Structure 1
Amino acid sequence: MEKIDYRQYPILFVDDEEENLDIFSIHFKDTFTIYTATSGPDGLELLDREFVALVISDQRMAGMTGMEFLQEVNKGHPEIVTMLVTAYSDLDVLVDGVNTGTLYSYILKPWEVKDLKIALKRGIEHYYLVSERDRLHREQIETLKKMSRANRLSAVGTLAAGIAHEIRNPLVSIQTFLEMVPQKLSELRVTDPARLDQEFWEKFYSLSFNEIQRIRTLISELVNFSQPTPPDLITENISRVIEPILDLTRKEADKRGIEISYHADPDIPLIHIDVSKIKQVLLNLILNAFQAMPEGGEVRIIARSVHPRGQARTVQVVVQDNGQGIPEEIKEQLFDPFFTTQDPGEGIGLGLTICHQIMEEHGGEIEIKNRHGQGAEAILNFPAVKEGKAKG
């Protein structure tokens, strides 16, 4: 096993006697990062604020006992390693704790510094190994999902390219014939004006031409999906991408009775992006949010710097709405090609698929989920440039 920096995996010691907390800190502060609390409730409150890898608690405390406290730790933070300090008289409690999985280990009083230090190191090593195992397992599952998705998209892309080609050829002929209509109408107006229903033909021509343009747009979407171009990456401040989109969509938002706002963290890192492609992603997500609120509402866009423990820093862009949220039964289909919840004729269901495709090209991720309370949010994660900050 690789060498572990034990200070990177903090320990919380809970005891209702201040003297015991001080002794523990004095003996172990040079080897470990130590937090202390004088009661179970205080310990639980700290766990909600701070990252902790191992919790060690005295058993006999006023109010909540050590075992009761560790049971609550297991409920809210099952990944944390738990240890109990107790006396021989509490043997039944220890056996029950180990058998039920509440305890990783226990320490009998009075403890020796050398023995407890070894136990704490073993506990952190256990946390590290389990965390690495879980991380690798998640990565394997994600890799298999990506491979399956890539194979599926490749097949769909080939089909889409073929469909686009087959539609484009007859469409050119139809458009050519349609473009002859105005000339023929002019001739008819001169030679036999009585036979000319001008209002009908003008409406017919306008509707037909608009439908052809819609088909051409759909063909373009199919081609872009089946033959994506590599991103043309530049180093950019995400705010310089988002703010023009706000100006572009504000009129539509006002018309729909929607308030749209944007907030960015100060000194947010720069990112490598293809500006036009990311504008396409953001515009798609914002318009989707508009459609989720037919009675009006609020769209909030947030850009922030995120640095998960043990992972590289990312720039996260969140598009939130306060609509009805996403039905559970369709969550797994959101990024599938040709899946759409819109009415027939309103789209072919490639918008989110292309968004997912673009984010993968950028080495990033996209996630769409329901918010706590009301509405949904789309979350974009971009790898941050290692050096350099964006000045709003």
Structure 2
Amino acid sequence: MTTATAFPPPALVFEERLEPSTVADLDSPALVLFEEALESNLATLIRLAGSAARLRPHVKTHKMPNLVRRCEALGIHRHKVATIAEAEMVAQAGGRDVLIAYPLVGPKLDRLMKLRAAYPETTFRVTLDHLRGLTDLEETVARHGGPHASPVPVLIDLNVGMNRTGIMPDDRAIELALKVADSPYLSFDGLHAYDGHIRDENPGERLHSAEIMVHRPWSLLRNRLIERGVAVPRIVLGGTPAFPAHATLAADEPTAEFSPGTCLLHDAGYATAFPDLPFRIAAALLTRVISRPAPDLLCLDLGHKAVAADPKGPRVFFPDWPDAQGVVHSEEHLVIRSNLAADTPVGTAVLAIPYHICPTCALHRFAVVARQGKIVDRWEVTARDRVLTI
């Protein structure tokens, strides 16, 4: 950030606060979770989904075993991850069912087998989107377990317009699903469709996009597979922006599972882009003024190493400085311009709301947890690492 950049508009609602005595003892920069808001978000997730059993939240947002345990206690026993480390973290936390929704290639295939052996009480599911991936997975299962190996549950990853991973929901997807179903080392476990490209501002338009781009294609594909004698046990749908749409469209679909992630903690990006989402911001960063290089400038200890450097443009919103504009953002420093700078002494502590909470969490080894303004706990961000024990 090298030129003046406006932060998210002050219409963003954030009412959480820390008591002054708590702030005084808390070093900065620090990742802070607000327990009441987090509990509210979990309750809203379950309400929108219809039941805890229909949820498969993506842990890539928080990467914390304590939050996995919170989900399990509420009856959310299915989880979605992007890395082997996240999968292991969920298993260590007592998670019973993990979908690794990321292509496993190279050494990750052997790590999957070791993961299954180390945590036999947890079911690990994977996604596939091409025949080479199927062959490599089969060979890995055979090498590790021989003819008596327990089959790996596989979901076909569909490309519904994101154009990142996935196979088009056409004859090629049918062929891949049939090969999985015929494999002695794999079991066909359903379909997976991620739609991060659906970002219509209007909720009604978002609902229409989800229906056209996701629900119609997967429904047609499911019907074709059933006609070929292949049952489709589950369909795992979407991320946070389209979550309410999927919950509405698949309200009567017993095989549907919803996999939002960001909304567990929520952030300034989604709160401003999708104000209809009924979630509270449950995570913030405590930062301090370390210098005043000019009368209207404040330098904070909130560099790229404490808050995500994406997306391009605004990275944080300051509830106490709604007029703030970013001037320079580097490794350890964030310089902002504000009309309130002249009245803000060096050492002042302030809360900042990340624009993108998921990569921000990964920058912190732990988060402190606040309740009624006081720090009550400390949660390790365990899966920020790429490797735990496997």
**Structure 1 length normalisation: TM-score?**
0.20
**Larger of the two Rg values belongs to structure:** 1
Instruction: Please identify which structure carries the higher helix content.
Output: 1
Bigger relative contact order, structure 1 or 2 (CA pairs below 8 A, ≥6 apart): 2
